[in-house]
Amino acid sequence: MSSTSLSGWGRTNASVVTLRTPRNEEDILNEFSAGTRLIARGLGRSYGDAAQLSGGVVLDNRELDGIGPISADGVVTVGAGVSIDELLAVSMPQGWFVPVTPGTRQVTMGGAIAADVHGKNHHVDGSIANHVLSMRLVTPIGAFTLSPTNESDLFWATMGAMGLTGVVTSITLQMLAIETNQMLVDTDRHGDLESVMAAMSDGDAEYRYSVAWVDCMTRGAHMGRAILTRGDHATAADVKKVALKGPRKAKLSIPFQAPRGLLNQWTVRAFNELWFRSAPRHEEEENQSLSSFFYPLDGVGQWNLLYGKRGFVQYQFCVPDQMGDTVVDVIKRLSESRVASFLAVLKRFGPANPSPLSFPLSGWTLALDLPIGSDALPSVLDDLDELVAVATGRVYFAKDARLRADQVRAMYPRLDEFQKVKSRVDPNDQLTSDLARRLDLVGK
Amino acid sequence: MENAFGQPQNVVIFGGSSDIARAITKKLCAARAHTVILAGRSQDLLHAAALEAQEYGATKTDTVLFDATDPSNAELTVSEAFEKVGDQIDLVIIAVGLLGKQMDDQDSASASADLITVNVTWPVAALAEIRGRLIDQGSGRILVMSSVAAIRVRENAYLYCGAKAALDRVCVGLAQSLEDTGVKLQLLRPAFVRTKMTVGAAEPPFTTGANEVAENVMRGLASNDDVIWSPPILRYVSFIIRHLPTPIWRKVANR
């Protein structure tokens, strides 16, 4: 038995678990019939405690690594342990991009399903679930082939459920056709939050991809100043030289844990200032590589070590369209509390999908990286939860490491519906995680 | 489960009716703690502390009675308290302690022995049991009430200081033995604290109230520091205390 200490990308609350590496569905079924309590794990990019189970078994799914042929219409079946990075290395030279990608390529497809990941195109294309044609799920009562039409309740209950309905082993995905590995990007600097939100409300529909980087530390008239970047894939006609190559590997890596307090309100403020000033005021149809547009942080390996021994938390919430004021209130509260927060990511979400636990709902989402160390941070975030819950919004499980259990029911009103489906396929609550226990998502 | 700030949901406190323990319990309950098991020697005091925990948000409280002058009950006391939680235990606090009266105790074999038993032997026996149980869980945190008195023994309180020093050193080693087990032990080293245990005593420098200690504990849980000092400046002051030449130390300490 090998005991391993695991934590999420935020490097907080580590747990010691027994790690096992299944090679096929049979291996997973055997775990279930032995009565094992377990959770699946991919590349550990959830920020909190979603992919760990202290004292239990964690299935490292990286060996479920097959990538099938890509059909003429862009359909591919991949193992749950395949990362977006590995898939793109194969698919991009053939002219196919993933239909939805989070801000890092270093997530597995299984993890992408567990979090029902979204990207800069959610307002147009929805989350990853909207592009999954079918998938295999191994549960304590057997293996299923799920699709929106076959066992649809289990299919949707699995999306965004952080691995708590079973272990996904393979996914059949509809890819997106691209002609080049370039993007055409429009950039605008906005001096305050109101202006960038108005621009996004009015103009996002014209772009497939849209995201704003917001400075949450500047107070006063320029509170929430932002850089808005929007674009789409460049066609062959748009570029001088057509190239289709997979993204390059990270060249830089943070070699060791940073000393305590490297990221504090002054250094972060200075960084935010530089970032804001380095963006053009207004730029149209700029050619950018796909990597720098989608994965700016993937250029630096292990960047989470910058936050030092104490680690960091990410806070991401969404609120419905008509509750845009909540975004303003949150940024106001943060900037007043002087909690250090890196450039936050602001996005618009399109309609939610039928999943009971999927995070996105039509409206606004804001994500923030916050170093642990400020005394005010725990209570500031508790206050933000209240604002978000009152606005009928929610916090993203994949990022969470500190939410109150009693807020979950308000934020995810369809939790009962999910639990009903889960107890059908997992009658003895074998599928659980530290996150599930902390937030009372399932039986203890 | 505890969260990213080290805030626990399920807590067991030995010596749960002491003023410092109660101040910490209140803060823990106001954060995330919902299950609190309080162990101590007085049912009345424990009951009052449990009601206080509920006022601050605990939804499940229970009490366990034990006598810290008898280390043979430590194992049983720990298992009884753990069973009452009925779930994973996130934080165990050892706040068992006896200040004693140096002048009365130093010439009494039984009083001297009791002081060592309550401050060292019982906690160390309990920690042996707690350690194993938390390692089996794969996660958990232990907070042990040491004292700044453990840094250097004063002749006018050598029994208490010496006892705290013994507990403190045992725990330093214990904490290191827990590396990579998912379990963490943190030492709390407060300066003199105004409580019912110290009422009437002269207040030395760096004296604080129990609430301030509790605030520093909350900060310490988030920081994961091996030692939580209260007030925090003691981290540096203790360095001086440790290195003062003995003649000077005796003058300072006996003032």
pLDDT digits (tens, 9 = 90+) for A146-178: 999 999 999 999 999 999 999 999 999 999 999
Which chain A residue shows the shortest CA-CA distance from B224?
A: A310
Record: contact A401-B181, CB cut-off 8 A: no
Q: Which residues pair with A283 in a beta bridge?
A: A187
Average per-residue pLDDT for chain B: 95
Residue B147 resides in a domain: yes
Q: Is residue B5 part of a domain?
A: no
pLDDT in tens, A370-421: 988 888 999 999 999 999 999 999 999 999 999 999 999 999 999 999 999 9
Residue A444 confidence (pLDDT) above 60 = no
Of A157, A141, A15, A108, whose CA–CA distance to A442 is shortest?
A: A157
Partners of residue A48 in chain B, C-beta under 8 Å: 4
Look at A373 and B223 and tell me if their CB atoms are within 8 Å.
Answer: yes
CB B167 within 8 A of CB B119: yes
**What is the residue whose two structure tokens read 């618009």?**
A348
Is B2 domain-assigned? Answer: no
Which of the four pLDDT bands, split at 50, 70 and 90, describes residue A343?
confident
Question: What is the structure's pLDDT at A239?
Answer: 86
What average pLDDT does the segment B68-91 reach?
97
Instruction: Give the gap in angstroms from C-alpha B149 to the nearest C-alpha of chain A.
Output: 27
Asked if omega into A259 is within 30° of 0 (cis), the reply is no
Give the H or E element holding residue A210.
Answer: strand A209-214
Closest listed residue to residue A334, CA positions, set A293, A369, A359, A299: A369
Radius of gyration of chain A (CA): 21
The number of distinct structural domains making up chain B is 1
With CA atoms as reference, the chain B residue closest to A380 would be B31
Distance CA A32, CA A431 (A): 9
DSSP A188: E
Question: CB-CB: which of B1, B7, B9 is closest to A49?
Answer: B1
Chain B, nearest residue to A407 by Cα: B32
In chain A, where does the domain assigned CATH 3.30.465.10 lie? 62-178
* Strand partners for A249: none
Residue A1 above 70 pLDDT?
no
Statement: residue B187 has pLDDT above 70: yes
| % of chain A exceeding 90 in pLDDT | 75
Closest-CA residue of A relative to B9 is A438
The overall pTM is greater than 0.90: yes
CB-count burial class (<10 Å; 0-12, 13-18, 19+) for B73: middle
- Here the tokens at position B30 are 């106001």
> Is the predicted ipTM greater than 0.85, yes or no?
yes
pLDDT of B55 > 60? The answer is yes
CATH 3.40.462-classified regions of chain A: 182-405
What are φ and ψ of residue B179, in 5° steps?
-55, 135
Interface test with A, best of B139, B141, B186 (most A CBs within 10 A): B139
Interchain CB distance below 8 Å, A438 and B182: no
Let me know the angle formed at the C-alpha of B35 by B31 and B40, rounded to the nearest 5 degrees.
105
Q: Kindly list the residues from chain A whose CB atom is less than 8 angstroms away from the CB atom of residue B224.
A: 309-310
Q: A107-121, A215-229, A262-276, B26-40: which has the minimum mean pLDDT?
A: A262-276
Nearest CA in chain B to A378: B5
Q: How far is residue B90's CA from residue B61's CA, in Å, rounded to a whole number?
A: 15
Shortest distance between the Cα of A109 and any Cα of chain B, in A, equals: 26
CB contact under 8 A, B5 and A56: no
Q: B195 in contact with A at a CB cutoff of 8 Å?
A: no
The answer on pLDDT for A443 being more than 70 is no
Beta strand A142-146 pairing with A132-139: antiparallel
Q: Is the CB of B232 inside 8 Å of chain A's CB atoms?
A: no
* Fold (topology level) of A62-178: 3.30.465
Q: State mean pLDDT over B128-152.
A: 96
Q: How confident is residue B87, by pLDDT bands cut at 50, 70 and 90? A: very high
CA closest to B30 among chain A residues: A379
Over 60: is that where the pLDDT of A25 sits? yes
Take residue A395 and report the two structure tokens written for it.
């916090």
Write the CB contacts of A57 (distance below 8 Å, at least 6 apart in sequence): A17, A18, A19, A20, A31, A36, A37, A38, A39
CB contact at 8 A, B41 and B16:
no
Residue B107 falls inside a structural domain:
yes
**Are A326 and A388 a contacting pair, CB within 8 Å?**
yes
Among candidate residues B11, B84, B2, B92, the one with its CA nearest the CA of residue A54: B2
Q: Does B5 touch chain A (CB under 8 A)?
A: yes
Task: State the residue for tokens 């932002």.
Answer: A226
Nearest-CA distance A444 → chain B (Å) = 7
Q: How far apart are CA B158 and CA B166, in angstroms?
A: 12
Contacts A15 to B, Cβ<8 Å: 138-139, 182
Query: In this structure, which long-range contacts are made by residues A378-381, counting pairs with CB atoms below 8 Å and at least 24 apart in sequence?
Result: A378/A402, A378/B5, A378/B7, A378/B31, A378/B222, A380/A333, A380/A334, A380/A337, A380/A339, A381/A313, A381/A315
Separation CA B53–CA A228 (nearest Å): 48
Residue of A nearest to B139 (CA): A15
Mean pLDDT of A71-92: 97
Identify the architecture of domain A182-405 in CATH.
3-Layer(aba) Sandwich (3.40)
Mean pLDDT (whole number) for B180-201 = 90
Query: What does the CA dihedral A427, A433, A438, A440 come to, rounded to 10 degrees?
Result: -20
Q: Residue B240: is its pLDDT beyond 80?
A: yes
Inform me whether the C-beta atom of residue B67 falls under 8 Å from chain A C-beta atoms: no
- Those residues with Cβ within 8 angstroms of residue A221's Cβ, 6 or more apart along the chain or in another chain: A191, A192
Question: Nearest-CA distance from A375 to chain B in Å?
Answer: 7
Q: Do A372 and B9 lie within an 8 Å CB cutoff?
A: no
pLDDT, average across residues A305-315: 87
B155-188 burial by CB neighbour count: b if 16+ within 10 A, else e?
eebebbbbbbbbbbebbbebbeebeebbbbbbbb
Q: Select from B7, B135, B182 the Cβ nearest to the Cβ of A378.
A: B7
CATH number, domain with residue B222 = 3.40.50.720
Helix (H, G, I), strand (E, B) or coil at B173: helix
Q: Which domain holds residue B146?
A: 10-253
For residue A333, what are the contacts with CB-CB under 8 A and spacing of at least 6?
A380, A383, A384, A387
Residue B254 pLDDT grade (very low, low, confident, very high; cuts 50, 70, 90): confident
Decide if B177 is inside a domain.
Answer: yes
Asked if the Cβ–Cβ distance from B1 to A444 is below 8 Å, we say no
pLDDT at B112 over 80: yes
pLDDT, average across residues B38-44: 97
Query: Which of A14, A309, A310 is the closest to B182 by Cβ?
Result: A14
Chain B partners within 8 Å of A49 (Cβ)? 1
A55 contacts B88? CB cut-off 8 A: yes
User: In sequence order, what DSSP letters do the residues of B117-159 get, joined into one string?
Assistant: IIIIIHHHHHHHHHHHHHHHHT-EEEEEE--GGGTS--GGGHH
b/e string for A307-337 if b means 16 or more Cβ within 10 A?
bbebbbbbbbbbbbeebbebbebbbebbbeb
**Are B1 and A13 a contacting pair, CB within 8 Å?**
yes
Q: Do A438 and B1 touch (CB under 8 A)?
A: yes
